Structure 1
Amino acid sequence: MADETPQENGAAEPQVQPSVKIRNQYVKDVSFENISAQKGTPVTSAPQVRVGVNLDAKKAAGEGDNYEVVLTLKVNAEADGQPVFLMELDYAGIFEIANVPQQQLHPFLLIQCPTMLFPFARRIVSDMTRDGGFPPVNVDPIDFMQLYRAELQRRQQAQDASPDTTGTA
């Protein structure tokens, strides 16, 4: 039996798997405003809490394939039509990414990376709202893939709705 290499017998070369390493993660910015305490108005009913999510990703300073991904959570609480508290958290991570094709890098940065950051940001929100004198806000799990798809759809609809300014028919 002759020795054959994978190329000689028609087998495909092994694919290099994508890899991601979290080089650092940190609170980039945080604020908590206890509006009801500042105004001296007691909260008499359970606050209605709304959570907003925003994502940003960019090439990090320095060499290599490092990217900074920022997960922003905005938490607003109202009771009886009055603001109770406002919390904003920018939680960031520096990710070293290898073997991800360029056309897949954008979704990778805005789906996979925030998924890894989310549990840490969720805990900070819970701790800060509790330390602010309220029941802890436990942010529900976020489907970052669905968020990404919704944003792509929103951009496509905005592009379809904008008038053609190139002058071509």
Structure 2
Amino acid sequence: MAESENGATQPQQPQQAPKMNVLAQFVRDLSFENILSQKGAGGDVQPDVQVQVNLDAKKRSVENQYEVVLKLKVDSKSKSNGAQLFLLELDYVGVFNIENVPEDQLHPFLLIECPRMLFPFARRIVSDMSRDGGFPPLNLEMIDFLALYRAEIQRRQAATQAEASNAPTQ
């Protein structure tokens, strides 16, 4: 109970739980290049698959709406000779309505919880595209978006410190 100016006690407002609704999700950009077939090569190859993940989030003009982009770049090369097998790039977008998230927690919420909601759909697209492109379906492992977020924060802090230590003194 909180005390008001006149000394009476009033119940405190309970903090409302965060609320998130997915309003839309869609493929913004998708590219798949089957380089192995373009070169006329074939046969049984052992792939070395590298996956790059980038995230972007921005406020939309409508109150409480945010756009989150999960960008995946999948680069597959042959383990034996390093020849390019295929290249897949996907920008998968989610539009979210987010309420009751404190301002200081909004950035991590957008870059951890929202991509976590989008990932299963993007994963299915990657699997379908690699299969439809002539390769076995590529089932991406789960991504730890919390670890990814923390690593990016540490990278930015290190870059800021390096920039500050390299600044000329007067």
TM-score (ref. length: structure 1): 0.89
Q: Distance in 2 between matches of 1:63 and 1:111?
A: 22
Give structure 2 stretches of 5+ with no counterpart: 3-7
Q: Aligned letter for 1:78?
A: K
Matched, 1:75 2:74: yes
Aligned to 2:5: none
Percent sequence identity is 56
Q: Aligned letter for 2:21?
A: K
Aligned to 1:3: none
Aligned to 1:84: 85
Please show how residues 9-158 of structure 1 align to structure 2 within 5 Å: 12-60=12-60, 62-79=61-78, 80-158=81-159
Q: Tell me, what secondary structure is at the counterpart of 1:162?
A: helix
Shift of 1:43: 4.1
Shift of 1:10: 7.0
Moved over 6 A (4+): none
TM-score (ref. length: structure 2): 0.89
Shift of 1:116: 0.2
Q: Aligned letter for 1:46?
A: Q
Give the number of aligned pairs.
Answer: 162
Q: Aligned letter for 2:136?
A: P
Shift of 1:44: 3.3
Q: Aligned letter for 1:25?
A: Q
Q: Aligned letter for 1:139?
A: L
Give structure 1 stretches of 5+ with no counterpart: 1-5
Q: Distance in 1 between matches of 2:105 and 2:168?
A: 29
